């Protein structure tokens, strides 16, 4: 039975044996209009007969289980006769309907896939035809290309000879340039060796610049040194003075003094390398000669909001955000020069400073700042 169903399904899915429903023919003969009411009436009668059969079946089962007539009179009437058969019938009907839908879905899927395969087959045939055409075109192009290659081979052979000659000439030229580069590298290496010797000599000169001078080497490169010069141990403590020494290609040096927090004016010095120790000693003597003043300024930075301009020898004291005092330091301070109050600004306006004077005579910067910071009139 299963084999017959499979064969019937294959016959339905076979495109060659499938036939389309000719609705036009049914309409012309008029059979559709006659058969539909007849089939509907037959279906209604079948349902009615089935219900009667269910009732008869239940009655037979009931009578078969009775032992006497009294038991029939005493037993209550059963509710919903034919319930079991009806439920079984409905279950079978639902299962049948489910299988029908499943088969219809499978058939639809199979038809769609067959249509897709047919479309792919047509596409493949068209591609195959196109490929054949392309193949013929390629053969023709190969024949044409072979002829062109034969002509081009002769031209290439001549070009190769010319290129080979040009390459040999370029090789000879490169050999000459390579020899020049080797000579230049040797000269540069010798120059680097000379700079290394000069750097070592400069380091030894720096150690001998001043008897009591100490230094700290911060960084070293083939052409530049960065140093921190320290003052003598017996003098007032000063912050290190940072300098950079750059060696040029003409055996000369360029010395740059960096102000930083030391308070010294930034300056630059140039000269031959043999005089670098003299330049370092000169810079250090200038720094030490102002050591007392710079030491005082450096200590005041930790106590007050000040700004020191070494070029103008001007000290700016910021008492508050709106109160600014300017003081000038004379040359030779503190032994031969004095600290003078130049101006006081409050809210952008100049104040009269004629009555502003510390209680001591010839006050130094520290005494001025202590007086100004504690004066209530400012």
Domain count, the chain: 2
* 245 strand-pairing partners: 225, 255
**Residue 247 is assigned to a structural domain of this protein:** yes
261 inside domain: yes
Picking from 290, 325, 358, the residue at the C-terminal end of a domain is 290
Q: Are residues 325 and 260 in the same domain?
A: no
pLDDT score at 361: 85
CB-CB contact of 313 with 365 (8 Å): no
Q: Which tokens sit at 83?
A: 């319930």
Among 260, 290, 320, where does a domain finish? Answer: 290
Decide if 183 is inside a domain: no
The answer to whether position 70 is within a domain reads: no
320 in the same domain as 257: no
**Domain shared by 280 and 356, yes or no:** no
Spell out a b/e string for 355-375, using b for 16 or more CB atoms within 10 Å of the CB, else e: ebebeeeebbbbebbebbeee
Q: Are both 208 and 285 inside the same structural domain?
A: yes
In this prediction, residue 324 carries a pLDDT of 92
- The answer to whether residue 44 is domain-embedded is no
My answer on whether 260 and 320 are in the same domain is: no
Predicted confidence pLDDT, tens digits, the chain (378 residues) = 434 543 443 454 444 443 444 444 444 455 667 777 888 888 888 878 887 887 777 778 777 777 776 666 666 665 555 566 667 778 888 888 898 899 888 989 999 999 999 999 999 999 999 999 999 999 999 989 888 888 888 888 888 888 888 888 888 888 888 888 888 888 888 878 877 776 776 666 555 544 445 667 778 777 788 877 766 544 556 677 788 888 877 778 888 877 655 556 666 788 887 787 788 777 777 777 677 788 888 888 888 998 888 878 889 999 888 899 999 988 878 878 888 998 999 888 888 888 888 888 888 889 999 998 888 887
pLDDT at 72: 63
Which residues make beta-bridge pairs with 252?
272
pLDDT for residue 6: 37
Asked whether residue 280 falls in the same domain as residue 303, the answer is no
Q: Is residue 36 part of a domain?
A: no
Q: Are residues 312 and 345 in the same domain?
A: yes
Q: Cα–Cα–Cα angle for 297, 302, 308, nearest 5°?
A: 35
**pLDDT score recorded for residue 170:** 86
Q: Are 298 and 365 found together in one domain? A: yes
Q: Is residue 79 part of a domain?
A: no
Domain that holds residue 266: 203-290
Asked if residue 351 and residue 307 are part of one domain, the reply reads yes
Pairing status of strand 349-350 against strand 339-346 = antiparallel
Degrees to nearest 5, angle at CA 74 with 73 and 76 = 95
Residues 271 and 298 in one domain: no
Domain final residue, candidates 290, 305, 334: 290
What are the angstrom distances between the C-alpha of 316 and each of 42, 323, 335, 342? 121, 11, 21, 10
Orientation of helix 276-289 relative to helix 291-301, angle to 10° = 60
pLDDT for 284 equals: 76
């Amino acid at each position: 039975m299963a084999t017959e169903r499979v064969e019937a399904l294959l016959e339905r899915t076979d495109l060659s044996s499938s036939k389309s429903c000719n609705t036009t023919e049914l309409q012309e003969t008029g059979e559709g209009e006659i058969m539909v009411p007849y089939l509907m009436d037959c279906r209604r009668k079948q349902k009615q007969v089935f219900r009667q059969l269910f009732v008869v079946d239940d009655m037979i089962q009931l009578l078969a289980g009775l032992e006497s007539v009294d038991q029939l009179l005493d037993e209550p009437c059963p509710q919903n006769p034919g319930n079991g058969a009806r439920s079984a019938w409905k279950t079978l009907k639902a299962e049948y309907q489910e299988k029908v839908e499943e088969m219809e879905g499978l058939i639809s899927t199979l038809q769609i896939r067959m249509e897709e395969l047919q479309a792919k087959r047509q596409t493949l045939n068209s591609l195959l035809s196109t490929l054949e055409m392309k193949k013929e075109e390629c053969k023709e192009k190969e024949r044409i290309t072979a002829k062109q290659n034969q002509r081009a081979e002769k031209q290439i052979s001549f070009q190769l000879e010319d290129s080979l000659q040009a390459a040999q000439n370029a090789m000879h030229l490169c050999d000459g340039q390579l020899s020049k580069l080797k000579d230049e590298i040797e000269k540069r290496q010798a120059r680097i060796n000379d700079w290394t010797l000069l750097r070592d000599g400069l380091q030894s000169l720096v150690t001998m610049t001043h008897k009591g001078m100490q230094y700290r080497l911060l960084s070293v490169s083939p052409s530049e040194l960065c140093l921190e010069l320290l003052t003598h141990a017996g003098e007032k403590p000063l912050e290190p003075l940072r300098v950079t020494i750059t060696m040029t290609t003409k055996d000369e040096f360029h010395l740059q003094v960096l102000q930083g927090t030391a308070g010294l004016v930034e300056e630059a010095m140039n000269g031959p390398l043999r005089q670098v120790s003299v330049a370092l000693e000169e810079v250090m003597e200038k720094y030490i000669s102002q050591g007392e003043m710079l030491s005082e300024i450096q200590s005041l930075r930790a106590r007050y909001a000040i700004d020191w301009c070494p070029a103008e020898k001007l000290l700016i004291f910021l008492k508050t955000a709106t109160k600014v005092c300017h003081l000038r330091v004379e040359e030779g301070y503190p032994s031969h020069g004095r600290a003078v109050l130049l101006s006081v600004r409050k809210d952008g306006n100049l104040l009269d400073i004629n009555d502003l004077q510390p209680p001591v005579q010839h006050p130094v910067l520290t005494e001025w700042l202590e007086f100004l910071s504690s004066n209530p009139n400012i």
